[in-house]
């Protein structure tokens, strides 16, 4: 949901209708609207408000003697979005315990999916894998393609956390297939992430083959940001494994990132990703350009674009790029251009991250 005036009006209307229905004793209708309000609050980036509504929904159902497992799942998912991982796990477990026999199979799938996602984010991959594997298998048996796909996507992130890129790619591919069966838009993201994981595993053939399919599907769905993302993945892969193909790949990635910008301006929720993709594209151009003037021009533009990102992302991009330049020079048997590294270090210092700034100074000290 885009956080515009209409969205906030919608939230206000929902809150007013819920209050009126509750005062009039129409708790069944109020409960349904509370679920809508939870989703609206989350869409507007208001997790505290969403959490309050989710708790109200669970309490309202329990107070009327109605099934509470469904509202508890909503509460667990909302706690997950609010990064209250321990409470999310507890709410998911409570949902299973409170489920009626006829709803238990689906409730168990959803609860294990949310619980597994919470365990992963809390840094407990083994516990996450057990819950997510159970959710995936049960969802597939129930014919719940969307839930099976989401569980597989979460399993892919667990694999990535354990540096198992090829396994993660396989999970993302299967996740995309399940989500496609359910006509779920996230299938396209899974396709793109599978490409990134094959690239991380240095499987050039699979990454290239999957990239063509993923980019075509994203283009057909008018998801130009995913086209740009996939092209960027291939450009990074070329820089790492096929330097002779890197200039062309980087030029294509820059073209895709630029083509996405006009659309992103009309969709504010995509503008952050669009800026990051353009930033990455411009910094890549530095690495494939030999002319000093052109390198300086691309570097300055890339830094300016990076500093518009939020500080964490800007720091990650600029810090990683410092190491890219050092590694490029080492592969060429040359010394890095100190002036370029000093310019990057100066930009990093402006972000106010002391640890990152110290890292940048350390890189420069190594060249002294």
pLDDT in tens, 114-123: 899 999 989 9
Secondary structure tally for the chain: helices H, strands E: 18, 0
Render pLDDT for 312-357 as a digit per residue (tens, 0 to 9): 999 999 999 999 999 999 988 888 899 999 999 999 999 999 999 9
Taking each helix axis from N to C terminus, what angle separates 104-121 and 125-142, rounded to the nearest 10 degrees?
A: 150
The string of pLDDT tens digits covering residues 274-297 is 889 999 999 999 999 999 999 999
Higher-scoring residue by pLDDT: 94, 223: 223
pLDDT tens-digit readout, 144-194:
999 999 999 999 999 999 999 999 999 999 999 999 999 988 899 999 999
- What pLDDT is attached to residue 214? 97
Residue 59 has pLDDT above 60, yes or no: no
Rounded to whole angstroms, the Cα distance separating 147 from 162 reads 23
pLDDT of residue 66: 52
pLDDT (tens digit per residue) in 193-222: 999 999 999 999 999 999 999 999 999 999
Prediction pTM value: 0.79
Q: What's 68's DSSP letter?
A: -
Predicted pLDDT at 73? 77
Average confidence score pLDDT of the chain: 82
Length of the chain: 368
The CA distance from 38 to 23, in Å, is 20
pLDDT of residue 79: 74
Token representation of residue 163: 């540096």
Does the pLDDT value for residue 110 go beyond 80? yes
Return the higher-pLDDT residue of 72 and 292: 292
Residue 30's pLDDT band (cuts 50, 70, 90) = very low
- Show the tokens assigned to 213: 């399919």
1-26 pLDDT, tens digit each: 334 444 444 444 444 454 444 444 44
Question: In the chain, what are the domain boundaries?
Answer: 152-221, 241-368
User: What is the pLDDT confidence band of residue 271, given thresholds at 50, 70 and 90?
Assistant: confident
pLDDT bin (cut points 50, 70, 90) of residue 63 is low
């Amino acid at each position: 949901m885009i956080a515009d005036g209409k969205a906030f009006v919608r939230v206000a209307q929902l809150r007013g209708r819920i209050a009126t229905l509750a005062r009039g004793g129409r708790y069944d209708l109020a409960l349904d609207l509370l679920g809508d309000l939870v989703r609206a609050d989350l869409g507007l980036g208001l997790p505290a408000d969403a959490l309050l509504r989710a708790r109200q929904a669970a309490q309202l159902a329990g107070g009327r003697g109605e099934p509470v497992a469904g509202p508890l799942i909503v509460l667990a998912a909302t706690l997950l979005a609010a990064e209250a991982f321990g409470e999310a796990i507890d709410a998911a477990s409570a949902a299973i315990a409170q489920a009626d026999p006829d709803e238990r199979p689906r409730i168990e799938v959803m609860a294990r999916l949310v619980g597994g996602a919470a365990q992963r984010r809390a840094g407990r991959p083994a516990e996450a894998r057990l819950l997510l594997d159970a959710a995936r298998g049960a969802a597939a048996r129930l014919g719940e393609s969307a839930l099976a796909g989401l569980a597989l996507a979460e399993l892919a992130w667990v694999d990535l956390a354990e540096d198992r890129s090829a396994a993660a790619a396989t999970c993302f591919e299967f996740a995309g297939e399940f989500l496609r069966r359910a006509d779920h838009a996230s299938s396209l993201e899974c396709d793109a992430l599978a490409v990134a994981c094959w690239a991380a595993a240095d499987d050039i053939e699979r990454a290239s083959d999957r990239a063509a399919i993923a980019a075509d599907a994203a283009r057909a769905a008018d998801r130009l940001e995913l086209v740009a993302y996939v092209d960027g993945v291939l450009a990074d892969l070329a820089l790492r494994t096929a330097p002779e193909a890197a200039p062309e790949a980087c030029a294509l990635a820059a073209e895709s990132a630029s083509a996405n910008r006009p659309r992103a301006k009309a969709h504010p929720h995509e503008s952050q990703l669009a800026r990051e993709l353009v930033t990455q594209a411009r910094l890549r151009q530095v690495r494939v350009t030999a002319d000093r003037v052109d390198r300086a021009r691309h570097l300055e533009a890339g830094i300016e674009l990076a500093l518009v990102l939020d500080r964490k992302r800007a720091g990650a991009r600029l810090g990683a790029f410092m190491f890219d330049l050092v590694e490029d020079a080492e592969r060429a048997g040359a010394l890095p251009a100190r002036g370029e590294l000093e310019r990057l270090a100066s930009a990093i210092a402006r972000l106010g991250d002391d640890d990152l700034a110290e890292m940048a100074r350390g890189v420069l000290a190594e060249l002294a």
